[in-house]
Amino acid sequence: MAFILMNQPLSEQIKMLIFKLVKSPEEKGEILFGRKLVFRASYDEGCTEVLESLCIRRESVLKYLEHKYVPTWRPDGARFLKQKCIQLALIKPDGTLFIHIKNSECHKIITDTEHVMHLMEDHGLQFDRNKIIFMVENLKANKDDLPLYNACLREWGKSVPYSSRMTEKFIRFKYKKFIDIAAIKKNSIQKKHLRYLVKMGQIDWELARIVSHNRNFKRGNLFILSKFIKLEAEKKGLNNTIAKW
């Protein structure tokens, strides 16, 4: 049975979904919202603020989607064959845009929607941005997303569930020093922690890129890298109180 959410601005839907997701159980490092979601939404300018709050670099994501999610067109829309997230985008006779997404994360729903809308418009298809139906299967997050998600919930004036606060405390303890984050070899996981530090003002995107591009994980090099990032952050007047150096 699908879990149906009433029509709201998409930005508010995403905030609600993040709140529901962080309350969901963890399994093998992933937090899974176990029900199919069907909801109506209107695309609104608040989506920009949500992406900024989540420290998502919109243009980089859209450029990736343009390269990765190439449509197979049909008269009423498009399919995205052999893809993990965006599956289908159709326009109904009344102008409603229907988007089917699988195995996605909350913030990706916004950028996936923007990508689909750009494709439709460039292809000459008309639809109503205030009438979008989403079907989302297997909404998920990595547990390493929780510090960032919790920070955003607090910023949006929403409560943070107890279980999510406890997971955040564990993660913050595990990566209590900056060098611990610099030592994360899996780039996608490391970027989640760097994004959180950008959110909290400890580093900026320039310094985050320096860390994420490093592939020398010898301890001596990591000490040198961490010291360099600390000194550069101090020069820029950034906040040095989140992760210990």
Domain-by-domain residue ranges, the chain? 3-143, 144-235
Q: pLDDT at position 222, please?
A: 97
Question: Among 10, 8, 104, 7, which residue's Cα sits nearest to residue 51?
Answer: 10
**What are the average pLDDT values for consecutive 10-residue runs of the chain, which has 245 residues?**
73 94 82 85 96 95 95 96 95 97 93 98 96 94 94 96 93 93 96 95 96 97 95 87 61
Q: pLDDT at position 28, please?
A: 72
- Looking up tokens 């020093």, which residue turns up? 177
* Gyration radius from the chain CA atoms: 19
What tokens appear for 1 in the block?
């049975």
Q: How many angstroms separate the CA atoms of 150 and 153, rounded? A: 5
Q: How many angstroms separate the CA atoms of 82 and 49, rounded? A: 31
Q: How far does Cα 226 stand from its chain's mean position?
A: 26
For the chain, count helices (H), then strands (E).
10, 10
Q: pLDDT at position 27, please?
A: 77
Instruction: Give 244's strand partners.
Output: 177
Q: How far does Cα 78 stand from its chain's mean position?
A: 24
Q: pLDDT at position 203, please?
A: 95
Q: How far does Cα 228 stand from its chain's mean position?
A: 28
Other C-beta atoms lying within 10 Å of the C-beta of residue 239: 11
Q: How many angstroms separate the CA atoms of 185 and 181, rounded? A: 9
Q: Which of helix, strand or coil describes residue 21?
A: helix
pTM of the model: 0.90
77-79 and 72-74 as β-strands: parallel, antiparallel, unpaired? antiparallel
